[in-house]
Amino acid sequence: MAGLLASLLLLVLQTLAAPPEFVPVSNPGLTDPLWANGTAAVVGPSLAPPPGTSQRMPHSIIIGVRKGGTRALLEMLDIHPSVAAAATEVHFFDWDENYARGFDWYRGLMPYSYPYQITVEKTPGYFTSPLAPERIRAMNASIKLLLILRDPAERVVSDYTQVYFNRLEARKPVRPIEDLLVRGGALNTRYKAIQRSLYHLHMRNWLRHFPLEQIHLVDGDTLVRDPLPELRRVERFLELPPRIAASNFYFNQTKGFYCIRSDGRERCLHESKGRPHPPVNGTVLRQLRAYFRPHNRSFYKMVGRSFHWQ
Ligand SMILES: *[C@@H]1O[C@H](CO)[C@@H](O)[C@H](O)[C@H]1NC(C)=O
Ligand SMILES: *[C@@H]1O[C@H](CO)[C@@H](O)[C@H](O)[C@H]1NC(C)=O
Ligand SMILES: *[C@@H]1O[C@H](CO)[C@@H](O)[C@H](O)[C@H]1NC(C)=O
Ligand SMILES: *[C@@H]1O[C@H](CO)[C@@H](O)[C@H](O)[C@H]1NC(C)=O
Ligand SMILES: *[C@@H]1O[C@H](CO)[C@@H](O)[C@H](O)[C@H]1NC(C)=O
């Protein structure tokens, strides 16, 4: 058993590239806690909301980080019967044109939920947005924030990989990652993907508006390898009774990722999200890791916790 687990772990580590997006395998459409029995998976505007439900402002927001595993976290949390998850990334607090539409517009994008449920939305862009913290605070100063992080250097490569495939699909020219990471022989620290991985700079801005106790950190590297312990911590943080169980996860050998089994339905990681990273020049990768070393130390100090980033 231990040997099997170890080889599964290895498999995950080997195939782990970008953090996963979940898609339903046995049921197309969105996952919605209101139709937990799986009879109607998609809530369209033409469908009358179930009696006793309404759209509520979020009680918790997954604020980031981009490519940190935010979709995986939201989908796994959505297993919980007391969680109602927003289906799409809302970009309310980080995009001025959306913010200008006001709170009623925002609430209109939230899922219908029962009074015993908490509403959760996720928009990874919030973490690096200069204005998102104060805007969220103005909405609800006691809101619970979730931040999922992974190794900052891995995140850079994953960020690049996503843009790379998006450009390929749009038939736009692509550049090797080294061209973006290196300028004139030195690390190009102005590269956006590197800037987004400077967690302590962004975190400082959040801590100006929220106490640390209100921001729960999820270890994204751990979540994909062993989801349950991380989810237990999230349940406790959200003051939810423990309802997510080991039986809600099964390992898909083909994918090398965990998939979700919930309410008789199975959901897996989206193909586009488990893509292998392109090979990165070892010298450049070492430069990148060395660059992050003092930065992640500042971050560990700031949040009073360390991660196994290497
Ligand atoms: C499933 O849920 C829907 C919506 O709440 C309900 O109308 C339907 O009767 C349920 N079906 C079963 C088999 O429980
Ligand atoms: C603000 O968030 C807290 C924590 O989730 C929640 O208990 C409270 O009901 C929220 N307030 C409003 C007005 O939504
Ligand atoms: C496992 O992953 C493969 C490859 O993506 C997929 O085709 C298959 O449906 C998955 N199987 C299960 C049981 O989730
Ligand atoms: C990797 O990058 C270094 C420094 O930019 C360069 O000197 C070296 O030739 C590169 N190695 C390969 C295999 O491309
Ligand atoms: C910080 O991260 C770097 C590179 O990602 C790693 O080599 C280093 O060990 C980490 N620092 C600490 C204190 O763990």
Separation of CA 43 and ligand 1 centre (Å): 14
Give residue 261's pLDDT band: very low, low, confident or very high (50, 70, 90): very high
Q: What is the pLDDT of residues 191-223, one digit of tens each?
A: 999 999 999 999 999 999 999 999 999 999 999
Cβ(34) to ligand 4 under 6 A? no
With 0-12 / 13-18 / 19 or more C-beta atoms within 10 angstroms meaning exposed / middle / buried, residue 308 is exposed
pLDDT digits (tens, 9 = 90+) for 221-251: 999 889 999 999 999 999 999 999 999 999 9
Pocket of ligand 3 (CB under 6 A): 25, 252, 254-255, 259, 266, 268
Q: Does residue 67 have an active-site annotation?
A: yes
- What is the whole-number distance in angstroms between the Cα of residue 14 and the centre of ligand 5? 20
The whole-number pLDDT of residue 81 equals: 96
Domain ranges for the chain? 22-152+197-273
Protein residue with least CA distance to atom 3, ligand 4: 283
Q: pTM, whole model, 2 decimals? A: 0.82
- Tell how far the Cα of 171 is from the centroid of ligand 5, in angstroms: 37
Report the alpha-carbon distance of residue 181 to residue 164 in Å, rounded: 14
Could you tell me if the CB of 310 is within 6 A of ligand 5? yes
Please, which pLDDT band fits residue 181 given cuts at 50, 70 and 90? very high
Q: Tell me: the pLDDT tens digits for 88-123?
A: 999 999 999 999 999 999 999 999 999 999 999 999
Comparing CA positions, the residue from 14, 76, 68 lying closest to residue 255 is 14
Whether residue 281 has its Cβ less than 6 Å from ligand 4 = yes
Residues 205 and 209: their CA atoms lie apart, in Å, by 7
**Residue 19 pLDDT level (bands cut at 50, 70, 90):** very low
Mean per-residue pLDDT of the chain: 86
Residue closest via CA to ligand 3's atom 10 equals 252
Confidence check: pLDDT of 2 > 60:
no
Per-residue pLDDT, 257: 84
Residue 190 to residue 204: CA distance in whole angstroms: 19
Most informative mutation of 27, 35, 39, 114 for ligand 1 (most atoms within 8 A of CB) = 39
Of 75-79, 107-111, 257-261, the poorest mean pLDDT is in 257-261
pLDDT of 22-36, one tens digit each? 554 443 333 443 333
CB 209 within 8 A of CB 133: yes
- Name which CATH class applies to 22-152+197-273: alpha beta
